[in-house]
Structures are given as C-alpha cells and as structure tokens.
Amino acid sequence: MKCIFAVCSSLLLAMPALRAQSKAATPSAPSAVYHSVVRVEVATQVPDYGTPWNSGRFSGGIGTGFIIGENKILTNAHVASNARRILITIHGSPEKYPAKVEYIAHDCDLAILSVDDFTDFESFPKLELGDIPALESQVRVIGYPIGGDRISVTRGVVSRVDFQPYAHSRADSHLVVQIDAAINPGNSGGPVLQDGKVVGVAFQGLRQADNTGYIIPTPVVKRFLKDIEDGHYDHYADLGISEFPLFNPAMRKALGLPNDGTGVMITNVVPGSSSDGILQPGDVLMSLDKYAVDSDGMVLIDGEKVNLNEVIERKFAGDKVAVRFKRDEGWNDVEIELKPLKWSRMYAIQYEKDPRYLVFAGLVFQPLDTNLFATSKFTDVTVRRLYTDYVPKGLFQKHKDIVVLTRVESDPVTSQLTDYEGFAVNKINGVEVTDLVQANELLHPENPPEFFVIELFGADRPIVIPSSKVDDANRRVQKNYGIASLSNLKD
C-alpha cells in the first residue's frame, strides 16, 4: 500500500442510473457531507535511484479527498504523489472519474485535484474551513480506511496541538493536531469535521500508540490555498536559523539574562538565508512579531504554546517579520524580509522527478539528495559530512550538486574500480566539480585529453580512464545493461 503513515478517504453518491432520483431527494445534513467526500484511487510509478535509467516500479493506493470549491478536491500530497493515473469514485456508483493533480505541496502534504467533467459533482456541498479545534473537543474523521470499500466515520477527541514533523517529505515540520482516533491507510486526505466545518485533513498516524492520529489543521490548509491563488505553489519562507534552548541558569547569567524563562540562543545562521547578515550565532532571540519567545523556543499563539517557527509559517516570501534580539549588552529591533530556502530541499524526499545521472565508460555519477541517500546508504564519512553540512554551512553557494560515483558497471575499462563506489567527486582533469551538468561537460570536452583523471574525496588514488576507450566502453555498457540514455541532466 502506498503511504505507510497516512490514510485515504472517499465519498457517497448515487449510481448513475439513480442519479436523477438522488439529486431530487433532500439529503440529511450528515449525508450531504458524505456526498462531498470522495474515494481517490491512484496508480503510481516510483523512480529507481539505484539504477536511475530504469523506469521504476509500479504501485498504487487508495486515499480520500473532499470538495472545497468548483472542481477543487482537496487531498494529501502523499495520496497523489508520483501518480500515473488518478480515479475518483462516488459512493454507491461503479463509475470512476479520471482526475489530475492541479497543485501539489509536498512540504505540507496537501494537493488539489480536479476531474475532467465536474457536472456530476456540482450539486454536492462545498465544505468550508473552520478554525483550530479546542483541546478536549470532539471531531469526526470521514474517509475510506483499509478494511472496506464504503465510507467510514469515526469520532475522536483533540488531545494535543503541536509543531511536529510531516512524514511525507521527511524534512518539514508544521502545526499538527493530535486526536485519539486512528488514522489508517485510506483515511489520508479525508476531512475532519467539527460543527459542520472542516477543522483539518487526516494525514498520518502513530504506529507506537493505539488510536492516535494526526490532522493538518486549517492554518496550514489556508496558507496552501492562499499560496496557489496566483496559479503556482511557492513553498514556505524560512528564517534560516537554528536555535538552542536557554534553560541553564549559569548560561543565562553569563549572557546577562535574568532567569525569567525567555529567549533562545541562535547557534547557526544559514548563509544566503533571510537572516544572513542580520542575525549571527550567539544572539539571543527574544520575540518575533511581538510574540515573546520562551527559553524552550515556544510562542503563545491562539491560546496554545507552539514552536517559534509557527510565526514564520503563516507568512509568505516577501513578508517581513519584526525580530527583537540581544547581542552582547545591547538590544536590537529589526525587520527581516522572508524568502524561501530552496536549498533545504536537499533533505526532503523528491517526487514527480526522474533521477538525474550520468554514465561514463561504466562509471555512474549522480547528484546527492535524500532520495539517493536513502537508496544507497552511503558509509563514506566524507559523503555523509557533505550531505549534513550542505545547507547549514552553505556548501550550496559553491556546489549546486554534490556529485557522487554511485555505481561501477562491469566492463574491461572498469574492472579494477569497484572499490570507488560511494565516493564524492572532487575534480575532473584538475577542475573542481560543482554540479552534474558541469561534470558532463568536463567528461565530454570538444578536444578530449589523452586521459580522463577523476579525483574522489577520500580515495587513495584517482581514477584514470583512457579517452580512446571511452566510446567502446559506453556502447558495451549501454547494450549490456539496457541503458536507453547515458544521461539525464534535467533538474
């Protein structure tokens, strides 16, 4: 099943033969809501980062979506990711409606689907968004979890409002609401209702506990919908800092702070980020937009203590945030204009993208990212360090890609080179490698040298390939391993 962590959902409707009769009837309030919840069936194709020239394996899964506007069906990104075919089903009808992804935001696990013909859906209610549900209040989860083909309704109580990781991207954290109702595969993308309004979208569960599920609350949903109003999803803005809690009384005294439970220390400022040149390590962050930051990095918003990044989460690129911080003995008040930190996607799983690669005389080069890191399980300490430091230390400023020799296909030219798999490329013919496109240019110059010399970080000696043998090696490798194209350089 697709989406281990999440759940999928669907909707009730009459059969085509009974459609007129169904529309003529006046449904009760609950059944009207059910008519707006649909079953989403997805066929997927997952890229193969181990052998990147292969098309990847086919899979599929079931999820849930619900109507929020004219031909707008909201669901989870993980329901629709890597989709090759999407079919929408209305409860009670055998008809499957082809659908497509209009917008998808993997960082907040939300997507908008549309169907080719919305006519049969026009009479269904368009569900409205409400506010964050209060602690201890009851909610309804509607969807199509595993174990049956019909709609399922469960009830739960809101037990926590928190700022936690979203499993889909593996790299992003946002506001979540925890409820004591299980979110099972199939529920994903289904509405969570309170007083007739949507207060969240079901999206992941907790395996270590029974009857514990998480929903994406409406501030995250509303931000996503606001972002796509211009026809494009622009991602989240980022302050670009790391912080450290200030609990220790001795540390607070050394920093000249009273022991009043406020403020966190900034430990890193990402080069090129929103805060670069304004904040610096050692500063003590005291407030954001007049929300006081406590010594655990929390702020009080809407009656709940949440991570300070929630202040930034509700803004967009180009917006400004008022920052108050202490440096040495002085207090500072500044405005910081926010922008996305696009290089942080290095740490997120990528979807809807074919792996980039370059095959050269049996040597396979790929740019390092989380998809590749998870597939190859690199053990070389330098590769792991380059991956870890890529954003915090600003390696992206010089290296668009960290190019890695991931495979050595068997060929007479490469017969003694298998020990070099998993090393990062430093130089090709004396030129420092900064991205995969440049590496391709260095390996395919207009006037080839007698030898191609490839230096790897941490390797005892360079790889030396006679240029006169490259073309024959390429032909053999391409034929023996069924490689249709020796490269895919598209970003």
Tell me: do 116 and 253 sit in the same domain. no
Whichever domain contains 471, its CATH number is 3.20.190.20
> What is the identity of the amino acid at 81?
S
Tokens linked to 69: 């506007």
Tell me: do 212 and 93 sit in the same domain. yes
Could you read off the pLDDT tens digit of each residue along the chain, which spans 491 residues?
344 334 333 333 333 333 333 333 333 455 678 889 999 999 999 999 999 999 899 999 999 999 999 999 999 999 999 999 999 998 777 889 999 999 999 999 999 999 999 999 999 999 999 999 999 999 999 999 886 778 999 999 999 999 999 999 999 999 999 999 888 889 999 999 999 999 999 999 877 767 789 999 999 999 999 999 999 999 999 999 999 999 999 999 999 999 999 999 999 999 999 999 999 999 999 999 999 999 999 999 988 899 999 999 999 999 999 999 999 989 999 999 999 999 999 999 999 999 999 999 999 999 999 999 999 989 999 999 999 999 999 999 999 999 999 999 999 999 888 899 999 999 999 999 999 999 999 999 999 999 999 999 999 899 999 999 999 999 999 999 999 999 999 98
Tell me: do 444 and 327 sit in the same domain. no
Tell me: do 224 and 302 sit in the same domain. no
Q: Among 337, 366, 395, where does a domain finish?
A: 337
Whichever domain contains 279, its CATH number is 2.30.42.10
Give a yes or no: residue 41 inside a domain.
yes
Q: Among 179, 209, 231, where does a domain finish?
A: 231
pLDDT of residue 220: 97
Alpha carbon distance 63, 89 (integer Å): 11
Alpha carbon distance 406, 143 (integer Å): 42
Give a yes or no: residue 346 inside a domain.
no
The pTM assigned to this predicted structure is 0.88
Tell me: do 222 and 332 sit in the same domain. no
Tell me: do 259 and 408 sit in the same domain. no
Termini Cα distance of the chain: 29
Tell me: do 370 and 433 sit in the same domain. yes
Give a yes or no: residue 236 inside a domain.
no
pLDDT of residue 181: 84
Q: Which residues are catalytic?
A: 78, 109, 188
pLDDT of residue 19: 39
Give a yes or no: residue 10 inside a domain.
yes
Tell me: do 258 and 188 sit in the same domain. no
Tell me: do 145 and 208 sit in the same domain. yes
Give a yes or no: residue 301 inside a domain.
yes
Tell me: do 122 and 181 sit in the same domain. yes
Give a yes or no: residue 77 inside a domain.
yes
CA atoms within 13 A on the CB side of 234: 18
Strand partners, 173: 165
The answer for 20, left when phi > 0, alpha when psi is -120 to 50, beta otherwise, is alpha
Note the pLDDT tens digit of each residue in 245-271: 999 999 999 999 999 999 999 999 999
Three-class SS of 332-350:
EEEEEECECCHHHHHHCCC
Alpha carbon distance 49, 66 (integer Å): 33
* Domain count across the chain: 3
Give a yes or no: residue 468 inside a domain.
yes
Tell me: do 98 and 217 sit in the same domain. yes
- Domain with 459, as residue range(s), is 356-488
Give a yes or no: residue 429 inside a domain.
yes
Strand partners, 21: none
Note the pLDDT tens digit of each residue in 330-354: 999 999 999 999 999 999 999 999 9
Tell me: do 209 and 283 sit in the same domain. no
Q: Among 231, 260, 281, where does a domain finish?
A: 231
- Kindly report the length of the chain: 491
**CA-to-CA separations, 220 to 107, 208, 215, 363, 411, in angstroms, rounded:** 11, 25, 10, 44, 52
3-state helix, strand, coil in the chain (%, to 5): 20, 40, 40
